[in-house]
């Protein structure tokens, strides 16, 4: 019953969908299991269109994110009107083994400060060539999750957006309503910056930045890290991720932003 993820099959399907949608395909440093494509597409009205950053597949035991990206790409109009940058498969060597870390045991999502892994050194090199985004979303899973939850670093969009996103995810999987998640205060499945600071101190001072912190330091004022609960059916988790992205995009459409 355990699901196994085949990175080279995945990349093949992703490239096919990207070509069909006129995306530009570029590559990070390759891994052993597959190449690591990343995708970009500008809206025809690129200078006024909102810009969105998505990433997934940084933890190799989390499948709903990469699969959700594939499904969104297959929906022809999903990203219409946006400038979009996507890193769909950051850790193929972890994914092929079904492990969180890379094969050297490095948690890639703690490697954005004083980076050691080839995977993240290459990701940051590429990020340095990119500008700012109106919002970012990083798609994750919690292997022992009882429901969906998310981390919100939102200094520019509606303060209610975290709730809207979790509510949309809740159409597909339960919401984790515990008052504390991963030992941090949570309200209705939403964990906010102020509560992370309360728990860990200034996020920027942490020695082990995750991708979200790196992005908030350098690229965006709005980032969401979604977590779907792995014990629930994969297709429901995929749909929850898609609903999260789609809700963020709806908010960006309504409200053109300073980046």
- Where along the sequence are the contacts to Zn ion (CB under 5 A)? 59, 62, 140
Give the residue with the Cβ less far from Zn ion, 140 or 219: 140
Question: What is the closest distance, in whole angstroms, from the C-beta atom of residue 82 to Zn ion in the complex?
Answer: 24
Closest CB to Zn ion among residues 18, 58: 58
Shortest Å, Cβ 224 to Zn ion: 13
Nearer to Zn ion, 62 or 82 (CB): 62
Query: Please, which residue, 15 or 61, has the CB nearer to Zn ion?
Result: 61
62 versus 152: smaller Cβ distance to Zn ion = 62
Three-class SS of residue 224?
A: strand
- Least separation, in Å, of the C-beta of 77 and Zn ion? 29
d(CA 86, CA 205) in angstroms, rounded, equals: 27
How many Cβ atoms from other residues are within 10 Å of residue 245's Cβ? 23
Instruction: Say what angle helices 64-74 and 234-254 make with each other, to 10 degrees.
Output: 60
Q: Are 223 and 214 in contact (CB under 8 A)?
A: no
C-beta of 43 vs 99, nearer to Zn ion: 99
Beta-strand relationship, 83-87 and 51-56: parallel
* Residue 62 or 93 having the CB closest to Zn ion: 62
Least distance between Zn ion and beta carbon 61 (Å):
8
Question: What whole-number distance in Å separates Cα of residue 110 and Cα of residue 107?
Answer: 6
Closest by CA position to 198, among listed 178, 225, 214, 180 = 180
188-to-105, 144, 182 alpha-carbon distances in Å = 33, 18, 14
Min separation Cβ 94 and Zn ion, Å:
10
In 128-203, where does DSSP find H-type helix?
161-169, 193-200
Contacts of 26 (CB under 8 A, 6+ apart): 37, 38, 39, 40, 126
Residue 66's CB is within 10 A of a number of other CB atoms, namely: 27
C-beta of 140: minimal distance to Zn ion in Å?
3
Least CB distance from residue 26 to Zn ion, whole Å? 24
What's phi and psi for 108, nearest 5 deg?
Answer: -60, -30
């Amino acid at each position: 019953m355990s699901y196994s993820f085949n990175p080279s099959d995945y990349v093949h399907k992703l490239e096919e969908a990207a070509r069909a949608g006129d995306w530009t395909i570029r590559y990070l440093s390759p891994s052993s299991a597959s190449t690591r494509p990343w995708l970009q597409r500008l809206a025809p009205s690129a200078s006024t269109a909102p810009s969105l950053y998505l990433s997934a597949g940084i933890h190799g035991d989390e499948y709903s994110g990469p699969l959700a990206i594939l499904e969104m790409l297959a929906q022809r109009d999903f990203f219409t009107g946006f400038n979009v940058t996507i890193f769909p498969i950051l850790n193929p060597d972890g994914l092929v083994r079904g492990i969180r870390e890379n094969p050297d045991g490095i948690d890639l999502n703690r490697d954005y400060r004083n980076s050691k892994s080839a995977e993240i050194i290459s990701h940051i090199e590429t990020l340095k060539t990119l500008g700012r985004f109106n919002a970012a979303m990083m798609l994750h899973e919690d292997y022992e999750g009882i429901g969906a939850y998310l981390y919100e670093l939102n200094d520019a969009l509606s303060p209610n957006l975290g709730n809207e996103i979790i509510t949309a995810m809740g159409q597909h999987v339960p919401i984790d309503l515990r008052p504390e998640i991963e030992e941090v205060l949570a309200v209705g499945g939403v964990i906010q910056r102020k509560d992370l600071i309360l728990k860990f101190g200034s996020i920027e001072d942490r020695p082990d930045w995750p991708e979200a912190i790196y992005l908030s330091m350098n690229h965006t004022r709005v980032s969401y890290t979604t977590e779907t609960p792995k014990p629930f059916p994969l297709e429901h988790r995929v749909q929850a991720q898609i609903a999260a992205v789609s809700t963020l995009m709806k908010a960006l459409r309504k409200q053109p932003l300073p980046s």
